[in-house]
Structure 1
Amino acid sequence: MANPKWGFLLLLHVFVFLINLQLGLSEEDPLVQQQLDRVLELPGQSFNISFAHYSGYVTVNQESGRALFYWFTEAVEDPDSKPLVLWLNGGPGCSSIAYGEAEEIGPFHIKPDLSLYLNPYSWNQVANLLFLDSPVGVGFSYSNTSSDLLNNGDKRTAEDSLAFLLKWFERFPQFKGREFYITGESYGGHYVPQLSKAIVKYNKASGENVINLKGYMVGNALTDDFHDHLGVFQFMWSTGLISDQTFKLLNVLCDFQSFIHTSSACDKVLDIASDELGDIDPYSIYTPLCPVNGSQSNRLRKRMKVIGRVNEQYDPCTEKHSVAYFNHAEVQKALHVNKEFAPPKWDTCSDLINENWKDSPRTVLDIYRELMHKGLRIWMFSGDTDAIIPVTSTRYTIDSLKLPTVKPFRAWYDDGKVGGWTQEYEGLTFVSVRGAGHEVPLHKPKLALALIKAFLAGTSMPSLELVSDS
């Protein structure tokens, strides 16, 4: 992957640094650091781009040395007029760079030969995109205090993510006051509303709209343990993936269980369910698995505890390509990864983080109830072929809120074809995406772009009549 341009690019960085020194600016100056974070070119990139992108670290806790890694891509056209969208993957312990950027909504996707191609359905067609590896220990994010990696949880993740945003806006002051939205999927169903609440609280305490949060959207999101489990077991049974007996045992032994900290009895029946599912991908039950050498573990229990994982055409080996690409030294150099704290082996998800997760509330519905009264735009979407946090879980969860319907359940359309179904409630909009798995933008990128367009515009999902009239 050697590139003769690297020498020139290095000289360009040195030139920018010397100019800054002449102007009396230091690397501590936020605007200088912004330019130092700019990514000039990526290994495997054979195409030109019209937008700028940046990556690097923001220290969120000086005392312990916690630093979060980000990758920011400006909108393809007129970034000054576009909103800012933050994307968070879950796990807990999974990288937003690995999934959100490289496999789902980001512009740079990876081919099997580790060259890059430009994702035509990237969400930076309509917004400026910010990807964050959170908490520390995930992706390239790190801490100087090793015990930090054993003490992650929901509460500190929200606190550190808020600290990140406040400092990031100092580094990128041109985005201060910009309309800001938070999106994510899976265990991001905890991160997204929790961070939204932290921002609302911070703004209130500050007496001003420091971060101009307008709304949030989550996909196939862990939200409420009781209703999520109820929906998972019903989905697996109704699609013929598990037996009647296992269905009954799951409802008895895993009822009210935490997704992160399960009982041994629940774990045993989850293993039985996993055996009954066979060698399929529960994140996308109708698409092929990535071929691997040797036996392929499909333990449902482990997969349910790491809630969140994997263009041109759908490639089931996308995650494999990401692991190879982001472990390459030249890629890490281009993205300004700190060599001193880079993991010896970069991976999409961290078992260490997941297995040592401290606090995880059984529900975040109380946050929904609180934030609905703050005027935020709140959407929940769901790919309907996901058996991890399926559409049934999301619908049970929304139903438990007992919200009045504003616009009734109906099909929505893309290019004259049914893209899914939607229902609008007072304070919340539900959208399903037909034929998509756990990672909607991976399996149905075009439909996912239609989704983010409607969400940011604050409009209903398109109907057949609107398509016909256009």
Structure 2
Amino acid sequence: MFIKTFVILTFLAFLNANYIDIDLLNDEANGFSKFFQHQFSNDIQELKDNFNIESAETFVSLDKSISFHVTSNTSSLSSLGLEKESIFQMSGYIDLPSSSKHIFFWFFDSRDENSTHHLTWFNGGPGCSSTTGFLGELIGPSTLDSDLNPVYNEYSWSNYASVMFIDQPVGVGYSYSDDESETINNSYASAEDMYKFFELFFEKYPQIIKNKEWHIAGESYAGHYIPAMANEIVLKHENSLNLSSIMIGNGITDPMLQYPSYFTMLCDPVNNGHNKTYVSPIDCLTLEKAIPRCEILMASCYASNADLPCVLANTYCDGVVFNIYEKLNLNVYDMSGPCESDDDDCYFVSKYISSYLNQEYVQKAAGSRVSKFEGCSSKVGQNFAFNGDGSRPFNQYVAQILEKGIPVLIYAGDHDFICNWVGNKYWTEALQWSGSSNYTKETLQPWGDNEGESKNADGLSFLKIYDAGHMVPMNQPVASLKFFKEWIDNKKL
């Protein structure tokens, strides 16, 4: 999920919808204002003093540059009641170079002992823990009730695959760094760390992917993360880890092509799929006029790949949109209504997750060395924002891995606004690759039991899910489990 606080505060701090103060932007980029210093804490994560790495099951890579320790397994984790005791699970850390960065994972074996699939899941942000997918979105084996009790999830994607949830980049969730200066501020660096993670993990647990297909999935800012990871795995390392497919839900992948979709969603009742206009004609005109200006700024970011043009593009473009959208008092992740809560969490389950993972007995069982869990790290979000990562394109890697024969699924709930289905349809139909002609000829066709619409050609599939927001599995668990099974079995929808 995106860090909504950053999106809204960015335009308040930097500009109004019609004017950009370049001097102010430079001042902010080089030395954050007191406003931002207040919003984004630079405190390092609180670590447990009594954490004993020596007591963990530890592995070290051949060159001794990275190590790996399993801090908990089924015997301790089963006490949490998140999965049946008969299902193997483990959690722990991968230590990346020189043990200064420690990335947390939580693995669950499949409920189907004959499963031939493994899934790695990522949430977005940037800076949000993948426990949102694990405990909040019905991808993991359980969710939580208001009393923080686990509730068995019959729609878990672990019904058909083993699933691993990873808190990344470093500084997110239970992941941490020994060195305060050891931070990640872009998707490429994140992908490099993840490749090292996967390489050692699968070396020490080859049975997890032996004779299995490996899929990477995620949502929102994972539209940046996952193509960058695929680039690292498939293109840079010639798919030595045997990645089978990627899935991106309600992602942000090609910002320049996705931006005009905000006008469509708010002002075009024919093409937004909602048969209604959400804002006034004046606001629609403001948005319409902003599109070419935003496209120029985005094009400058794309061409230069420099921080300042990319920060400027993200600041202006988001500023115009959310200055208008906030008037609606609608959930930015689900246009069908307002947020459940009045603060930045928006969803009650986000509060439940943070409260649950901050309990001492949970942290002890999971082997966490972080004593203060945050669902989304504003510090990590800040680092990515001021690098301009959000405005950079990652669609080119989708095209390149398609050329390498790696199937790609782009799915989207039709009620999401921030990474809406229209924008994802725009960029996939504009994608330049050898199958683009066949793909663009296809039209959306009914999918499932009147649960959505899909199209596919030559390895690329697009799925629109009805009556779902940004977090499709949470809103439509039956349809989500259905498309997940169909995808991993057939690689098309």
- After TM superposition, is the score higher than 0.5? yes
Match of 2:336 in 1: 286
Quickly say closer, same or farther: Cα 1:85–1:32, change in 2 above 3 A.
Answer: closer
Deviations 1:110-152 (A, max 9, x none): 1111100111110000101011111001111111111123x42
Contact residue 216 and residue 379 of structure 1 kept, 8 A: yes
Unaligned runs of 5+ in 2: 1-51, 62-66, 269-275, 302-309
Q: Distance in 1 between matches of 2:285 and 2:128?
A: 31
Q: CA deviation at 1:333?
A: 0.8
Number of aligned residue pairs: give it.
Answer: 405
- Aligned counterpart in structure 2 of residue 134 of structure 1, from 168, 178, 181: 168
Contact residue 411 and residue 463 of structure 2 kept, 8 A: yes
Quickly say closer, same or farther: Cα 1:140–1:364, change in 2 above 3 A.
Answer: same
Q: CA deviation at 1:170?
A: 2.5
Q: Distance in 1 between matches of 2:395 and 2:341?
A: 39
Does 1:147 find its partner at 2:184?
no
Contact residue 33 and residue 171 of structure 1 kept, 8 A: no
Q: CA deviation at 1:363?
A: 1.4
Deviations 1:42-86 (A, max 9, x none): 5652874431111110112216x111111111100215x421111
- Aligned counterpart in structure 2 of residue 317 of structure 1, from 345, 348, 354: 348
Q: Distance in 2 between matches of 1:233 and 1:39?
A: 52
Q: Distance in 2 between matches of 1:32 and 1:253?
A: 49
Paired amino acid for 1:426:
D
Paired amino acid for 1:444:
Q
Spell out the pairing of 1:43-122 with structure 2 (5 A cutoff): 45=81, 48-62=84-98, 65-78=100-113, 81-122=115-156
Deviations 1:153-180 (A, max 9, x none): 1111000011110111123121244321
Match of 2:254 in 1: 224
Match of 1:8 in 2: none
Spell out the pairing of 1:230-379 with structure 2 (5 A cutoff): 230-238=260-268, 239-253=276-290, 255-256=294-295, 261-262=311-312, 265-266=316-317, 268-278=319-329, 280-287=330-337, 289-292=339-342, 296=343, 316-338=347-369, 342=370, 344=372, 346-357=373-384, 358=387, 360=389, 362-379=392-409
Contact residue 405 and residue 423 of structure 1 kept, 8 A: no
Paired amino acid for 2:113:
D
Contact residue 246 and residue 269 of structure 1 kept, 8 A: no
User: What value does the CA root-mean-square deviation take over the aligned residues?
Assistant: 2.8
Does 1:454 find its partner at 2:486?
yes
**Local SS of the residue matching 1:356:** helix
Does 1:405 find its partner at 2:405?
no
TM-score, normalised to structure 1, is 0.79
Q: CA deviation at 1:291?
A: 3.7
Paired amino acid for 2:413:
G
Q: Distance in 2 between matches of 1:353 and 1:87?
A: 19
Match of 2:206 in 1: 173
Q: CA deviation at 1:343?
A: 5.0
Deviations 1:265-299 (A, max 9, x none): 54553343133222x2120111453244xxx46xx
Q: Distance in 1 between matches of 2:68 and 2:254?
A: 43
Contact residue 42 and residue 331 of structure 1 kept, 8 A: no
Q: Distance in 1 between matches of 2:147 and 2:283?
A: 42
- Aligned counterpart in structure 2 of residue 432 of structure 1, from 445, 449, 464: 464
Q: Distance in 2 between matches of 1:36 and 1:347?
A: 21
Quickly say closer, same or farther: Cα 1:451–1:267, change in 2 above 3 A.
Answer: closer
Paired amino acid for 1:457:
D
Contact residue 134 and residue 141 of structure 2 kept, 8 A: no
Does 1:156 find its partner at 2:189?
yes
Quickly say closer, same or farther: Cα 1:459–1:165, change in 2 above 3 A.
Answer: closer
- Aligned counterpart in structure 1 of residue 244 of structure 2, from 208, 214, 225: 214
Q: Distance in 2 between matches of 1:32 and 1:67?
A: 9
Q: Distance in 2 between matches of 1:387 and 1:321?
A: 24
Q: CA deviation at 1:355?
A: 1.2
Contact residue 107 and residue 165 of structure 2 kept, 8 A: yes
Quickly say closer, same or farther: Cα 1:46–1:438, change in 2 above 3 A.
Answer: closer
Deviations 1:350-392 (A, max 9, x none): 1111112125262112112211110111111010000111111
Q: CA deviation at 1:262?
A: 4.5
TM-score, normalised to structure 2, is 0.75
Paired amino acid for 2:193:
D
